[in-house]
């Protein structure tokens, strides 16, 4: 943002894209506290378990009913990606629509190959992972 010295914000003024209200800041702090005290973090934490369960589900589908159609599943924490089908922009776009129509939100990422990205909630249960797997399997099989 360009501005003159005359309209330059004075020290102490809180303004900007990343400013938040007191309530929002308090909620964010409480979330961080819960993540530290409720075993969400670390290699044996809830986030690591959700990650492992979801990637494991994708790998099992790739080895069974969707053989070879879900490659290189992995990611970081609750952000997981997989290369579906042939990894082309067109097929991934079609799959995103099918996933959405069948009840699962995903995003595309990467380029050559294009991938599916899942941004998982930190409160995801085993049943949620299983349901996501059912939707992914159904959507892939509808396209083959």
- Those residues with Cβ within 8 angstroms of residue 35's Cβ, 6 or more apart along the chain or in another chain: 41, 122
pLDDT score, position 58: 99
Crossing angle of the two packed helices 89-102 and 126-143, in degrees rounded to 10 = 130
pLDDT score, position 102: 98
Tens digit of pLDDT at every position of the chain (144 positions) = 566 777 766 666 555 555 667 888 899 899 999 999 999 999 999 999 999 999 999 999 999 999 999 999 999 999 999 999 999 999 999 999 999 999 999 999 999 999 999 999 999 999 999 999 999 999 999 999
Pairing label, strands 107-110, 79-84: unpaired
pLDDT score, position 56: 99
Alpha helices in 17-63 (DSSP H): 22-37, 46-63
Domains present along the chain, CATH in parentheses: 46-143 (3.90.1150.10)
pLDDT score, position 3: 64
pLDDT score, position 15: 56
pLDDT score, position 21: 75
Spatial distance between the Cα atoms of 129 and 56, rounded to a whole number of angstroms? 10
């Amino acid at each position: 943002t360009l501005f003159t010295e005359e309209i330059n914000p004075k020290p102490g003024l809180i303004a900007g894209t990343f400013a938040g209200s007191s309530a929002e800041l308090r909620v964010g702090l409480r979330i961080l506290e819960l993540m530290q005290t409720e075993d969400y973090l670390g290699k044996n934490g809830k986030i690591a378990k959700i990650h492992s369960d979801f990637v494991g589900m994708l790998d099992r589908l790739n080895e069974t009913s969707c053989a070879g159609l879900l490659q290189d599943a992995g990611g970081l924490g609750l952000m997981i990606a997989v290369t579906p089908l042939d990894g082309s922009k067109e097929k991934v776009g079609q799959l995103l629509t099918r996933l959405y129509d069948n009840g699962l939100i995903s995003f595309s990422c990467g380029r050559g190959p294009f991938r599916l990205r899942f941004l998982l909630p930190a409160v995801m249960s085993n049943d949620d992972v299983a349901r996501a797997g059912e939707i992914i399997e159904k959507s892939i099989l509808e396209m083959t």
